[in-house]
Amino acid sequence: MKIGEVAKEYGLSVDTVNYYVSLGLLVPQRRGSQRVFDERTRRDIEMILELREMEFSLHEIHRVLSLRRVSYFASGEDLKELCSICEEKKNHCLRECDRLSGVAARLDARIAELRRRAASPNAGSGVPLSMLDLLCCPLCGGALRISGADMDSRSVFSGSFKCACGYRADIKDGVLLTPNKNRDLYDKPDTEREMYKNLPPHLISLFQSSYNWMTERLARIDMRGRTAIETHANAWFFMHNHQEYLDPRGKYIVVDKYPETLLMYKKLIERQAFGRDILYIADSSVNLPLKPGCVNLNIDFFAVNEHNFYSEAFLLADLKKYFAPGAAALGTYFYFDAGAVSMKRLLSEYPSCSANNFNLSYFEGELARSGFVVRERGDAEFTTSSGDNIGFSFHEEGERMYLMPYLAEMKG
């Protein structure tokens, strides 16, 4: 039989048969340039398959085949050696069974714990009382008075904030809902976390590299009695999966235009039970109900980019009035190097997107114009493929998209 015929008969690939030949497991005859698989060689294949089913390695199979080829097991010594090989394999399998039983027991315990956590109710949170002093009317700067509040000693779960000028913001399910509703037609709330699906492993590794850089710098920032903000949580959201790195003595604000997205992340964060004070604000604008100068740190993982999907303005310039003197900006900026096709596709998919998006020179210039000085920047790493992820559907295969971590500080 020819190699293709014997491979088909035994359900093997031609490459596998060739591999067995290269190792000496199979020794077919040659007739000219072709190998011929006779009855003897086919018996070798059958023995290989039988021993593979019994978990023998190719090295062990070679030992057995060599014994058969030398004496066809006619020698008593050879039979004893074959018996010894089989006993060694049996003992190995018994040890492996014990090990796998232990693994299965540990998996049972892990499954039970995960089911318990999934079934347990979330420890609900609301607008932290410790953060009420950060709020003010975004229209006149006046004080906001709370009414109809459902609250406990730590949080407000529902109610309304009202200003004498007529401004009103409601609290529902612990989320502060401002009158600034989303009107954009090219986006939707990502309550199923579709943005995190279908990311190729190498891009996830780039994310993690930036995360590592950011968390290392975050640990150096004194957050005692200070406030950090992260906006555009509907895109990529840094805080929710890095809560352990958030100083428990700090205060944290999360802003997004979709209440549904905020509520989804709020529940995820509550389930992790780190107990950080977090104020969730649903607002599609940058005219937030916050006092000027109350924010000490802006956290950005794609937020600057996301802002330019729907605005020509630079995010940190729009938020500047909320930053305290010496405020820091810690983030990762995404940009293209000669990404002409990607940008063309981006502007086609998102007509409201700024043509300056994903532009490193624009980012550096606007950062400086917003009053920030870059103190550190990490190595910019790139990918040439974003796979089938919907968040980067515009990324043209082969064009370089860079991720650049940075730490900047406001002058003065």
Q: Is the dihedral of CA 233, 236, 241, 246 positive or negative?
A: negative
**CA-derived radius of gyration, the chain:** 32
- Cα–Cα distance measured from residue 378 to residue 330, given in angstroms and rounded to the nearest whole number: 11
Confidence of residue 103 (pLDDT cuts 50, 70, 90): very high
Torsion angle of C-alpha atoms 325, 329, 330, 334, degrees rounded to 10: -170
When pLDDT is cut at 50, 70 and 90, the band that residue 290 belongs to is very high
Is residue 120 predicted with pLDDT exceeding 80?
A: no
Please give the helix or strand (H or E) that residue 364 lies within, else none: helix 360-369
Flag the least confident range among 148-157, 207-216, 363-372: 148-157
Read off the pLDDT of each residue in 398-405 and give the average, rounded to a whole number.
Answer: 97
Helix then strand then coil, in percent of the chain rounded to 5, is 40, 20, 35
Predicted confidence (pLDDT) at residue 122 exceeds the cutoff of 60: no
For 301, list phi and psi in degrees, rounded to 5.
-125, 90
**Mean pLDDT of all residues in 233-241:** 94
Residue ranges matching CATH 3.40.50.150 in the chain: 193-410
The fold adopted by the segment(s) 3-91 is Multidrug-efflux Transporter Regulator; Chain: A; Domain 2 (1.10.1660)
Segment 149-162 shows an average pLDDT of: 94
Q: pLDDT of 258-278, one tens digit each? A: 999 999 999 999 988 899 999
Q: What's the CA gap between 69 and 44, in Å, rounded?
A: 10
Residue 298 pLDDT class (50, 70, 90 cuts): very high
Specify whether the CB–CB gap between 353 and 394 falls below 8 A: no
Going by C-alpha positions, the residue among 22, 16, 68 that lies closest to residue 44 is 68
Residues 129 and 151: beta-carbon distance below 8 Å: yes
pLDDT at 283 over 60: yes
What number of CA atoms fall less than 13 Å from residue 396's CA on the CB side?
A: 14
Q: In Å, how far are 1, 139, 155 from 142, measured between CA atoms?
A: 91, 8, 22
pLDDT at 326 over 90: yes
For 193-410, CATH gives 3.40.50.150
**For the whole model, what pTM was predicted?**
0.76
pLDDT of residue 115: 85
> What pLDDT, on a 0 to 100 scale, did the predictor assign at position 273?
87
SS (H, E, C) 25-89: CCCCEEECCEEECCHHHHHHHHHHHHHHHCCCCHHHHHHHHHHHHHHCCCCHHHHHHHHHHHHHH
The amino acid present at 363, given as its one-letter code, is F
Residues of each domain in the chain carrying CATH 1.10.1660.10 = 3-91
Q: What value does the mean pLDDT of the chain take?
A: 93
**CA quadruple 79, 82, 86, 91: dihedral positive or negative?**
positive
pLDDT (tens digit per residue) in 180-198: 998 877 789 999 888 888 8
Confidence (pLDDT) at 117: 67
238 versus 338: the higher-pLDDT residue is: 238
* Residue pair 231/307 in contact by the 8 Å Cβ criterion: yes
Q: Which residue has the tokens 């023998």?
A: 56
Q: Is residue 118 pLDDT above 80, yes or no? A: no
* Nearest by Cα to 265 from 206, 324, 195, 319: 195
Predicted confidence at residue 69, as pLDDT, reads 86
Q: What is the pLDDT, as a whole number, of residue 403? A: 98
3-state class (DSSP) for residue 16: helix
Distances (CA, A) of 212 to 165, 218, 297, 316: 45, 10, 18, 23
CA distance 314 to 328: 16
Angle at which helices 14-23 and 39-53 cross, to 10°: 100
pLDDT band at 114 (very low <50, low <70, confident <90, very high): confident
Closest CA to 315 of 241, 255, 249: 255
Q: What is the pLDDT of residues 339-394, one digit of tens each?
A: 899 999 999 999 999 999 999 999 999 999 999 999 999 999 999 999 998 899 99
Sign of the Cα pseudo-torsion (270, 275, 276, 282, in order) = positive
pLDDT at 165 (0 to 100): 97
pLDDT of residue 15: 95
